[in-house]
Amino acid sequence: MRQEIDNASVDQLPEFERKHIPVAVVVCVSIAYMIYTAIFSSLSFKSSAAIFLYMGLLSGIVYQMPVNDICRQFISGVKGMASTGILLGFAYAISGILSRGNVMDTVVNLLANALNYFPRMFQAPAMFLMHIIINLFVTSGSGQAAVTMPVFIPVADLVGMSRQTAVLAFNFGDGFCNFILPHAAATMGFIGLANIPFTKWFLYAAKLFLLWVAIGIVLLMAATVIGY
């Protein structure tokens, strides 16, 4: 099955055969269980990893692969993600050093004070760009919100910006650049699984990111005008 996937191309995909049905069922059930856990319980990174591990094992079993082949395919998959894991480890180490050293507090305070120097129309787009800068250090949405929003919300009140617009600027800044950051876990995991070099992905996604930034600036300016 692994060889079929490696040799597949957009123009010539392997046919879906009867032997693939049990594998598809295992994958669908596993994904459904993850969704159920996320909605009705608590889905952590550890539990997600465990579910994917069991999903891979069960997929090999229902596909009637020999145990040795299952182990070889697992090792092959781990090799493909090794460079991604190392890169993520370095990135999170740098982020942790900056956070524990209170460097992030200094950066947030500096950016928040700089917001006062922008005209009212451009304050929300400026906050959006500031969140992009902060997201380079803190990729976690909840972590970034905990660091920035206690500072930016009072600043928004002082400059006359609505809190809804401030939250919208945060959402844009936190979400858009996660597709081009080398330490965004989900993005690096997906491109690593697809065997796409990060440099190639970055050249492709950077153009889309710049388009999103332009659209986000326009939307934030419109939100300021209508008093969102």
What tens digit of pLDDT does each residue of 182-214 get? Answer: 777 778 777 877 778 888 888 888 899 999 999
Q: What is the residue type of 105?
A: D
Report pLDDT for 1.
46
When pLDDT is averaged across residues 99-117 and rounded to a whole number, the result is 74
Quick check: is 212 in a domain? yes
Co-location of 108 and 216 in the same domain = yes
Q: Higher confidence at residue 117 or residue 165?
A: 165
Co-location of 40 and 152 in the same domain = no
Co-location of 114 and 192 in the same domain = yes
Four-point Cα dihedral 208, 213, 216, 221, nearest 10: -150
Quick check: is 87 in a domain? no
Co-location of 104 and 180 in the same domain = yes
Report pLDDT for 49.
83
Q: Higher confidence at residue 64 or residue 4?
A: 64
Q: Higher confidence at residue 56 or residue 195?
A: 56
Q: In the structure, what pLDDT confidence band is assigned to residue 67 with cuts at 50, 70 and 90?
A: confident
Co-location of 149 and 205 in the same domain = yes
Co-location of 61 and 118 in the same domain = no
Co-location of 60 and 104 in the same domain = no
Residue that is last in its domain, among 43, 65, 87: 65
Co-location of 111 and 221 in the same domain = yes
Q: How many angstroms separate the CA atoms of 196 and 198, rounded?
A: 6
Quick check: is 88 in a domain? no
The number of distinct structural domains making up the chain is: 2
Range scoring the smallest mean pLDDT among 43-47, 92-96, 158-162? 92-96
Q: Considering the chain, what is the average pLDDT of its residues?
A: 81
- Print the domain residue range for 186: 97-226
Report pLDDT for 92.
67
Report pLDDT for 5.
45
When pLDDT is averaged across residues 214-219 and rounded to a whole number, the result is 93
User: CB neighbours (10 Å) of residue 126?
Assistant: 18
Co-location of 38 and 114 in the same domain = no
Quick check: is 175 in a domain? yes
Report pLDDT for 40.
87
Co-location of 216 and 137 in the same domain = yes
When pLDDT is averaged across residues 101-119 and rounded to a whole number, the result is 75
Co-location of 57 and 170 in the same domain = no
Co-location of 136 and 190 in the same domain = yes
pTM for this predicted structure:
0.58
Quick check: is 185 in a domain? yes
Cβ proximity of 164 and 157 under 8 Å: no
Q: Is 5 exposed, middle or buried (0-12, 13-18, 19+ CB in 10 A)?
A: exposed
Quick check: is 121 in a domain? yes
Quick check: is 204 in a domain? yes
Task: Flag whether pLDDT at 104 surpasses 70.
Answer: no
